[in-house]
Chain A
Amino acid sequence: MTSPGESGGRETWPLWEVFVRSSRGLSHVHAGSLHAPDEIMAVRNARDLYTRRAEGVSIWVVPASAITASDPDARGAFFESPQGKEYRHATYYTESDSVPHL
């Protein structure tokens, strides 16, 4: 299975996926990808590329080739389970709509 963003080919440097935490208390969020020879340069390049305007307080980099993704062609079957199970959402229970604090 291919990793998201990986195009294979004959690149000089491998591809890294970059995750940035914008401030304390928030998750690291995927910002994009970049090329770098190793993880140290990947973190530095990520700083220069994705946080030029103080967008982050922490960065993760992951080799794109290390990411395993769900099969896009099987997404129908793979994500079938929650279908028709609206009772997993609070909005399913309408009898209590007018009751305060519920």
Chain B
Amino acid sequence: MADGTSVDDEAGAARFAQLLADEQRVEPTDWMPEGYRKTLVRQISQHAHSEIIGMQPEGNWITRAPSLKRKAILMAKVQDEAGHGLYLYSAAQTLGTDRDTMFEQLITGKAKYSSIFNYTTPTWADMGSIGWLVDGAAICNQVPLCRASYGPYARAMVRICKEESFHQRQGFEILLTLMRGTEEQRAMAQESVNRWYAPALMMFGPPDDDSPNSKQSMAWNIKRFSNDDLRQRFVDMLVPQAEILGVTLPDPAIKWNEERGHYDFGDLDWAEFHEVLAGRGPANSIRVARRRQAHEDGAWVREAARAYADARADERLAS
């Protein structure tokens, strides 16, 4: 056809539209618009990168966690994050981008990941704040993704959400334990919450009127709720939880709004968000450098394992 589309494309496009209209899932072998494929590869690989980079701020505390139990829990959590990264890389791979390419994009700094992991974790209480606030925000974001239109992504998210709830609870418990402790421990918990609260709220992305891709993602049934809706939902959950903990959320504008049936809250510093996203956060360069070093240091292991597998295959052929 003159506009470059084929009859197959047209039939495929009609089928794709019908699948979305019927709230059905799109599977890897289905026809899909190039933009849908690209959006998904970008979103899923960024999500995978976030899980992998997200291992670092917590890995930082494994050797210093205050008890053997806390060490074991933290290791399990970091291992989960590696697993979540792998589920997501597999899902992205079904769209035709291989994992080694995605790895390369991460370690060369071409790919983005959640800007939250570019903040540092100077105190033990940060393990609590990450679990409660960061994983809490992630869950809020991820539960609707279990219904995303792309089958492999949705299935990965179901598995991730199931595992993620332990992460949030363990974080809450760390903070609760500190809040029941000494004056110094309570101060440590509060100081940590003060640092993580706003960045966690920014995890939902820019305000709706400044989020150009959201509309298309919602039309494609990838995104189910707007950034601001999810952020509101999160704040509504946080306020009563903060009361139970006995911490103060660092926003004097938080106030119950009877008319809206939601908590009002103050504006966030989006200039900071864009700075961190642009690579100028507290830990951007160290996170990527460490990931690259781990990848390069592991090269000989991957090669040796491959050589061993090849040699065994040759032996089997010869016998």
Contact = CB atoms under 8 A, between A and B. Distances in A.
Contacts, number: 70
Interface in B95-111: 95-101
A83 interface: no
Nearest to A72: B29
Contact of B100 (A10, A48, A52, A72): A10
Given A32-B87, A37-B306, A52-B80, A12 B100 contact: yes
B309 A5 contact: no
Contacts of B98: 7-11
A33 B302 CA distance: 18
Interface in A6-43: 7-13, 15, 32-35, 37-38, 41
Contact of B93 (A7, A10, A38, A53): A7
A44 to B, nearest CB: 11
A57 interface: no
Interface residues of A, number: 24
Nearest to B11: A73
A59 B110 CA distance: 36
A9 B87 contact: no
Nearest to A15: B93
Nearest to A18: B90
B297 to A, nearest CB: 15
Given A5-B93, A37-B302, A52-B80, 14 more contacts: A5-B28, A7-B93, A7-B94, A11-B100, A12-B100, A12-B306, A13-B302, A13-B305, A15-B93, A33-B93, A38-B313, A49-B86, A52-B79, A73-B29
A38 B86 contact: no
Contacts of B156: 32
Contacts of A8: 98
Interface in B274-319: 302-303, 305-306, 308-309, 312-313
Q: How large is the interface on B (under 10, 10 to 19, 20 to 34, 35 or more residues)?
A: 20 to 34
Contacts of B208: none
Nearest to B91: A32
Contacts of B309: 37-38, 41
A37 B305 contact: yes
B305 A9 contact: no
Nearest to A2: B29
Interface in B117-134: none
Contacts of B163: 52-53
Interface string B63-95: 000000000000010011001001100100111
B306 A7 contact: no
Contacts of A48: 79, 83
A65 B23 CA distance: 31
Contacts of B312: 38
B272 interface: no
Given A13-B306, A52-B79, A34 B90 contact: yes
Nearest to B80: A52
Given A41-B305, A72-B29, A9 B86 contact: no
9 contacts: A4-B29, A4-B94, A7-B96, A9-B100, A35-B99, A37-B305, A48-B79, A52-B83, A52-B163
A51 to B, nearest CB: 11
B296 to A, nearest CB: 13
A45 B76 CA distance: 16
Nearest to B94: A5
A8 B95 CA distance: 11
